[in-house]
Structure formats: C-alpha cells, structure tokens
C-alpha cells in the first residue's frame, strides 16, 4: 500500500477520483494511494462534507481489491483500516486514542479523523474498495460548527510531516489487510473491540428522537453496535444512533 502514490494539488474528492478511475481501460494497481493537497468537495459519513485546510492535513484514498471478502464481511475491512490508522498514531497519542464506532479516530472526546470506505461489489463478493481517510494533522483552527474536531497540532503543539504519517498509516493498514487475507478475522475483531471508544462505559445516546443512558457492549461481526439500555441489549446501525455526552 502506497508504493504507487499520486499527489494531486486539487481535486473534488480523492474517493470520487479513485472510483472514477475504476472505469478506465487500464485500472490502477492495488494499493495505489491518491492524496490531495486540497480537496474542495470532500465527502464524509452520513452524506456529510469533509472540510480540511489545504496543505495541512491528510486527505487520501487507497485502492484495495479485497476479492477474498464477502459482502457480509465489509465491516472487517473497516476494522482493519481503523486499526491501521490507530496503530500509526498510537506512538504519538498513546492510550487516549480510541476508535469511535464505526470508524472515527478519537483523542479523548474529540475527533481527529475519519474514514469513508466505498465498496464496489460483484455478486456476493467485494471487488474493489475505495478507502478514503481524512486525518487532521497541522490544522489549528476549525469551523465554528466543528466543535468536536481536533488535530495532532492542537494536541501536541507541534507540526508533523504529512508524508511520514501517510507512510506509517499505509504500512499499518497493509499489515492488517494481510491478516484479513490470511483469514485472521477474529484477531482483527478482538483488537478493534479492545480499542473501542466508550466500551463498557455508561453514556447518553439518542435514537429515534429518544434519549437514553446506555452501555456499549460489543460490535456484531457485521458491524452493528450493541448497546445495553433499559435492561436489554439493542443493536443499531450508523443511521440509527447518535452519541451524546
């Protein structure tokens, strides 16, 4: 991952760019990374937009061809990628670093980055995965609306080399990707759970306009979040639950 690196000065979204490249007659090799200095229409989870100050952050997408994963195993790829990003940042941030379900990278209660993985299926298997990652590195000021955002610079008061962190992330993701390829799904699942933000803690959530106090107990193999509240265990998908305080 990252052997073939393309750096674009400006692009709408590296995910869109990479997805469009799949219809070229000569597809890009697996592991290709498209990185943007400036992304003017970055896309996030839940149809959100992703803003990043030009030149200061990591915004890139990786092309993977995980044909060995079924459509039901899509969340295992999410886990592998989240863990790769986690491991790359861990030497800098240590145990305050967490993975917020499904795939945000959190430092204490603030978001450092996120990912948008878009899978192209062929029948019941995954054919291509466009793995988009955005990590706030050297940006110091955020949109007033983004109260929850942080960056490495805000946390550690230092500037970081984007290429260096990119290389670390690519290497770590590759390691987990190879674990998946070798069939070690359970290993990656266990590790993901052990890094999960708010696991076994009591916090407030909102679903269906209803607020409740609950405890995250687990994440199902397919990726649903299991929360215990009102004396029972419930499962939620991304659109169904919101994290409150």
Binding site for ligand BTN (CB under 6 A): 13-15, 42-45, 48, 50, 59-61, 104, 114-116, 132-134
Minimum CB distance to ligand BTN smaller for 2 or for 134: 134
Q: Are strands 49-50 and 42-43 parallel, antiparallel or unpaired?
A: antiparallel
Residues 6 or more apart whose Cβ sits within 8 Å of residue 195: 82, 83, 86, 97, 98, 99
Query: What is the nearest approach in angstroms of ligand BTN to the Cβ of residue 104?
Result: 6
Radius of gyration of the chain (CA): 18
Minimum CB distance to ligand BTN smaller for 184 or for 243: 243
Residues 183-208, buried b or exposed e (16+ Cβ, 10 A)?
A: ebbeebbebbbebbbbbeeeeebebe
The two three-digit tokens of residue 178, written as one number: 């190879």
Minimum CB distance to ligand BTN smaller for 15 or for 82: 15
Neighbours of 113 (CB within 10 A): 26
The two three-digit tokens of residue 88, written as one number: 């790359």
Query: What is the nearest approach in angstroms of ligand BTN to the Cβ of residue 31?
Result: 16
Residue 9, classed as helix, strand or coil, is strand
Residue 116, classed as helix, strand or coil, is strand
Minimum CB distance to ligand BTN smaller for 110 or for 184: 110
Minimum CB distance to ligand BTN smaller for 48 or for 200: 48
Query: What is the nearest approach in angstroms of ligand BTN to the Cβ of residue 23?
Result: 18
Query: What is the nearest approach in angstroms of ligand BTN to the Cβ of residue 40?
Result: 10
Minimum CB distance to ligand BTN smaller for 15 or for 179: 15
Residue with nearest beta carbon to ligand BTN: 114
Cβ 77 vs Cβ 180: under 8 Å: yes
Query: What is the nearest approach in angstroms of ligand BTN to the Cβ of residue 20?
Result: 12
Query: What is the nearest approach in angstroms of ligand BTN to the Cβ of residue 107?
Result: 14
Would you mind telling me the total number of residues written for the chain in this entry? 245
């Amino acid at each position: 991952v990252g052997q073939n690196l393309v750096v674009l000065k400006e692009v709408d979204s590296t995910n869109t760019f990479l997805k469009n490249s799949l219809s070229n007659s000569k597809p890009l090799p697996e592991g290709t990374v498209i990185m943007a200095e400036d992304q003017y229409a970055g896309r996030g989870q839940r149809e959100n937009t992703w803003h990043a100050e030009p030149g200061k952050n990591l915004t890139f997408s990786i092309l993977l061809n995980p044909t060995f994963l079924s459509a039901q195993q899509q969340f295992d790829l999410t886990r592998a990628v989240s863990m790769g990003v986690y491991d790359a940042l861990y030497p800098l941030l240590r145990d305050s670093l967490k993975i917020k379900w499904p795939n945000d990278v959190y430092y204490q209660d603030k978001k450092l980055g996120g990912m948008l993985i878009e899978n192209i299926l062929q029948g019941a298997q995954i054919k291509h995965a466009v793995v988009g990652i955005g990590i706030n590195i050297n940006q110091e000021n955020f949109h007033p609306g983004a109260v929850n955002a942080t960056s490495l610079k805000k946390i550690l008061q230092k500037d970081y080399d984007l290429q260096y962190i990119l290389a670390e992330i690519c290497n770590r993701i590759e390691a987990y990707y190879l674990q998946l390829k070798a069939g070690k799904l359970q290993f990656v699942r266990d590790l993901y759970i052990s890094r999960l933000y708010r696991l076994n803690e009591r916090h407030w959530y909102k679903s269906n306009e209803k607020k409740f106090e609950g405890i995250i107990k687990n994440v199902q193999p397919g990726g649903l979040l299991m929360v215990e509240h009102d004396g029972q265990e419930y499962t939620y998908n991304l659109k169904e639950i919101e994290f409150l305080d």
